[in-house]
Amino acid sequence: MRDLIIKNGRIIDPSIDRDEIGDLYVVNGQISALPPSMDYEVIDARNLVVTPGLVDIHVHLREPGQTHKETIETGSQAAAAGGFSSIVCMPNTDPPADNPTTITWIADRASEGARVNVFPAGAITKGLKGEEMAPIGSMVQAGIVAITDDGHCVQNHEVMRRAVEYAGMFDLAVLDHCQDYNMVGSGVMHEGYWSSVLGLDGWPRTGEELVVMRNILLAELCKTRIHCQHLSSAGSVRLLRDARARGIQITGELCPHHVALTDEYVSSFDTNYKMNPPLRAREDVEALIEGVADGTITILGSDHAPHAFFEKEVEFDRAPFGILGLETELALFLTILVHRTKAIDLKRLVTMYTISPATLLRLRKGTLGPGADADITLIDPDLEWTYRKEDSFSRSRNTPFDGWELKGRAVRTIVAGKTVWSI
């Protein structure tokens, strides 16, 4: 590994309120206040944005047990190509990551083949069944950075309360997939005009909002950080806005498909438009963008959910939920939030991908301060390009964004001073 001088870039580091044209130095895999003295590489970052390595806290790597969809190696390659130096993998694997043995196996597997930093999340409950707490303390010792039953939602409020209380003992964040099963029933798309027209079972907004409210109440009661994953509803934004104004430790996350698409796209019956929570109406999209603009939603993520071709190539109501996201999310958010709607500027976008997720999960990432790991992303915010799914590093191809023209993308990803991907 050679030392680096990254010259002439616009360095944006919200963790130290830095936004200026300058040079960045990397010595022995760490950010340095002084330039290297010998045997260094120079990277010209003119017209590029230099940021702390981006962090995605919502990724499904499918390993162990579902390697026909994705592996830690292929998923981490996709992350690097999307500009991410750190990702948090969800525990809904086979078997679930609900014990220290599986967590250790994931960590060992990542250390052997991952291109980026992989942080495991542990399950809230055993088998993701929502009935009995998983051994949270043992999983903390094995290296988890959060707990979640993502893909599932704990319906028993008493179990969830005890898990939240227990997580607080370890200063651990709780990430929650907000879905009331009784309210949602067999819903496969947003309940509204298009579900009626298409004859598909509806997934009402209330099915998300009820659990968002539950989490707000528990965060207030237990004084523990709770993070609501992949918000999709205007009502969820209103609830979150009010709770945060009252100082409650509750945060929310936005995924790109929930502002890039609406439920009208489902009229094609293309299963690549099927995700959980579902694509919603135009008024929800507008509310989500407003929630980002006013600071209600503070974290961006992908919910990268790979599925094999044969799994998606079935009737809409039988197909699994989820789409790819790691290689398109940054470009979609740049295109929609920064360029098209101007809801936020570049510095705010970088904040939502770096110091905000790092602070939530207590990760020693998201900064370019001296002594920090040299995890760095170089972004061309104005690069116009077309996404082609056949070029993806993922093992799967389930994306609705094939052929989309986008503006802005990462052009180089550096982890611990080593370039792991460049355009």
What are 49-75's pLDDT values in tens digits?
999 999 999 999 999 999 999 999 999
Q: How confident is the model over 272-284, as a mean pLDDT?
A: 98
Which of the four pLDDT bands, split at 50, 70 and 90, describes residue 7?
Answer: very high
The proportion of the chain whose per-residue pLDDT surpasses 90, expressed as a percent, equals: 99
Looking only at the bridges linking them, the beta strands covering 84-89 and 418-422 are unpaired
The proportion of the chain whose per-residue pLDDT surpasses 70, expressed as a percent, equals: 100
With beta carbons less than 8 A apart as the criterion, state whether 351 and 48 touch: no
CA-closest candidate to residue 59, choices 82, 38, 34, 30: 82
Mean pLDDT, the chain, rounded, equals 98
Token reading at 151: 């893909």
With beta carbons less than 8 A apart as the criterion, state whether 32 and 278 touch: no
Q: Do you know the residue count of the chain?
A: 423
Q: What are 336's strand-pairing partners? A: none
Compute the distance between CA of residue 343 and CA of residue 334 in angstroms, rounded to an integer.
10
Q: How confident is the model over 243-247, as a mean pLDDT?
A: 98
Candidate list 149, 150, 303, 380, residue with the active-site label: 303
- E-only strand ranges, 33-83: 40-44, 49-52, 54-59
pLDDT of 288 higher than 90: yes
Give whole-number Cα distances, 147 to 184, 220, 283, 361, in Å: 23, 18, 31, 10
Residue type, 57: I
With beta carbons less than 8 A apart as the criterion, state whether 178 and 160 touch: no
DSSP reduced 3-state for 66: coil
Per residue in 211-220, pLDDT tens? 999 999 999 9
pLDDT of 1 higher than 90: no
Distance in angstroms between the alpha carbons of the first and the last residue of the chain: 20
Handedness of CA 7, 12, 18, 21 (dihedral sign): positive
CA-closest candidate to residue 272, choices 408, 123, 397: 397
DSSP reduced 3-state for 95: coil
Report phi then psi at 176, rounded to 5: -130, 130
Which of the four pLDDT bands, split at 50, 70 and 90, describes residue 410?
Answer: very high
Give whole-number Cα distances, 320 to 275, 276, 316, 373, in Å: 8, 9, 9, 38
Compute the distance between CA of residue 219 and CA of residue 242 in angstroms, rounded to an integer.
13
Compute the distance between CA of residue 93 and CA of residue 62 in angstroms, rounded to an integer.
5
User: Residue ranges of the domains in the chain?
Assistant: 52-369
CA-closest candidate to residue 144, choices 167, 111, 112: 167
With beta carbons less than 8 A apart as the criterion, state whether 4 and 23 touch: no
Token reading at 196: 């009626």
Per residue in 313-355, pLDDT tens? 999 999 999 999 999 999 999 999 999 999 999 999 999 999 9
* Domain 52-369 class, CATH top level: alpha beta
pLDDT at site 121: 98
Respond yes or no: is residue 402 known to be catalytic. no
Residue type, 376: I
Give whole-number Cα distances, 274 to 265, 312, 399, 410, in Å: 10, 9, 10, 27
